[in-house]
Amino acid sequence: MSLTKSFIMALSSIISNKVRSLLTMLGIIIGIASVIVLVSVMNGLTGEISSIFNEFGTTSLTTSITPRSNKEVKPEELYEFAEQYPDMFAGVSPNVSVSGQVKTPDSGDDYLTGSATGVSEDYYDIKRVDMSFGRFISYEDCENRSKVAVIGSYQAMYFFGLSSKAVGETIRINGTPYTIIGVIEEEAESAESSSDDVIYIPYTTALKANGTNIVSSYTVDAASDEVVDEAKALLESFLLEKVGDSDYFTVISMKAIIDQMLEMMDTMEMVLVAIAGISLLVGGIGIMNIMLVSVSERTREIGIRKSLGAKHKHIMTQFVMESGTVSCIGGIIGIILGVSFAYLAGRLLGMDVAPSMGAVGLAFGVSVGIGVIFGFLPARKAAKLNPIDALRSD
């Protein structure tokens, strides 16, 4: 007996019992749909998060040092150190924060409370800054302690109404005037406290403004993703030598944070899928239940088939095919629903939610597998019936 023949037989049996078949499939439909939605949304979320982090650069090592007398790390020392390992480090930038009032000569009483960050020219590459107008801080600016500033689109919009108008204008930070040399590309709709709410000035200028020459924070850029861990270890041993105590400095690797984050997302995804998987299990049990009912309802039919020469395998095939087909159809409906819901969720959450082909394929395989596994027991019950007992039943 061919498989297509038994498939057609299974289909006609399912069609002759539409409502019951649909109810039987429900567990599988819900299970498969929810697995697909969950996997898709989690994938979308993971993609979203890692792209946000990638913006900051996965290779950057954020270093902070607690200032102690004679134990500081001077910018020149760190530059010199980094230059010794050109295949480990791509750039170094001090981070010097200057906080206070931000205003323009024309803004009168209107000001923003904010801070400017003093950085070096390397910062441009480390953080992958995109300029929309003008240029970033240069080596010369740092050397000359120029009073220049690069501002974010939030400040530009706030003070000048338009990013293009800001370049060449003056901005005052705690009263000190800075010439605006560039505006950074908008990233976060120019919202307050967002990544668009920034001001960069040369670190040398910032140190002078703070009246100090001690830098307590650096951003160091590793040469590539592959060497991040090695570069981090190297940097730490340098800092240990300089600072003398590992309690007084920290090096945070962006990559480690992202990895940890993604790992957490993976775990969460597994937990969610496992929960959704329970509904698949329940669906499977539902199928088994209905198949057992079907076997006892059709005992006489089984007896007739046996009297005509149906062997164990024929009856097995008939019932396993039937439950396999039921859950397979349920799986297909579940996939269609799941993919639709995933896209809908993507629309609503405003992110790129693409159900992976792998997840869809796996879902389909699982639904067929469930049908076959949970159909096996009832099918065997049918196949083992004694022909005469089966014939006599009604």
Name the E strands within 10-129.
60-65, 89-94, 96-103, 112-119
**Binding another protein by CB under 8 A: which of 308, 350, 357, 358?**
308
152 vs 303 by CB, closer to another protein: 303
If we measure between CA atoms, which residue out of 324, 300, 299 comes closest to residue 382? 299
Determine whether 7 is exposed, middle or buried from the number of CB atoms within 10 Å of its CB (0-12, 13-18, 19+).
middle
Structure tokens at 329: 């159809």
Q: Residue 73, SS3?
A: coil
Number of chain residues interacting with another protein (CB under 8 A): 23
- Segment interacting with another protein, rule: CB under 8 A, options 11-19, 109-117, 183-191, 245-253: 11-19
Near another protein by CB under 8 A: residue from 22, 49, 258, 304: 304
Is residue 393 near another protein by the rule CB under 8 A? no
Between 313 and 342, how does the x/- string for binding to another protein read (CB under 8 A)? xx----------------------------
Residue owning tokens 């439909």: 29
307 binds another protein (CB under 8 A): yes
Rule CB under 8 A: is residue 300 a binding residue for another protein? yes
- For the CB of residue 14, give the shortest distance to another protein in the complex, in Å: 12
| Region near another protein per CB under 8 A, out of 10-18, 120-128, 211-219, 364-372 | 10-18
Kindly tell me which residue out of 301, 332, 337, 343 binds another protein, with binding defined by CB under 8 A.
301
Considering the complex, what minimum distance in angstroms separates the CB of residue 296 from another protein? 16
305 contacts another protein (rule: CB under 8 A): yes
Q: Is 113 in the site for another protein (CB under 8 A)?
A: no
Among 310, 342, 372, 382, binds another protein (CB under 8 A): 310
Q: Which two tokens stand for residue 382?
A: 């049918």
- Using a 10 angstrom Cβ sphere, with 0-12 exposed, 13-18 middle and 19 or more buried, the burial of residue 389 is exposed
Residue 43 contacts residue 356 (beta carbons within 8 Å): yes
Q: By C-beta, is 74 or 300 nearer to another protein? A: 300
Tokens of 238: 């340098």
Q: Alpha-carbon distance 237 to 252, whole Å?
A: 14
Q: Should residue 281 be labelled a site residue for another protein when binding is judged by CB under 8 A? A: no
Distance CA 266, CA 358 (A): 16
Number of C-beta neighbours around residue 123 at 10 A? 24
Q: Using the rule CB under 8 A, give the single segment among 128-136, 239-247, 330-338, 383-391 that binds another protein.
A: 383-391
347 in contact with another protein (CB under 8 A): no
| Residue 126 CB contacts under 8 Å (≥ 6 apart), including other chains | 57, 59, 60, 90, 91, 93, 219, 221
CA 139 to chain centre: 36
Q: Does 135 bind another protein (CB under 8 A)?
A: no
Nearest to 89 by CA among 243, 204, 206, 238: 238
Whether 374 contacts 323, CB under 8 Å: yes
Of the residues 123, 306, 317, 329, which one makes contact with another protein according to CB under 8 A: 306
Compare residues 169 and 301 and give the one whose CB is closer to another protein: 301
- Residue 70 touches another protein, criterion: CB under 8 A: no
Binding site for another protein (CB under 8 A): 1-2, 5, 12-13, 16, 300-301, 304-314, 386-388, 391
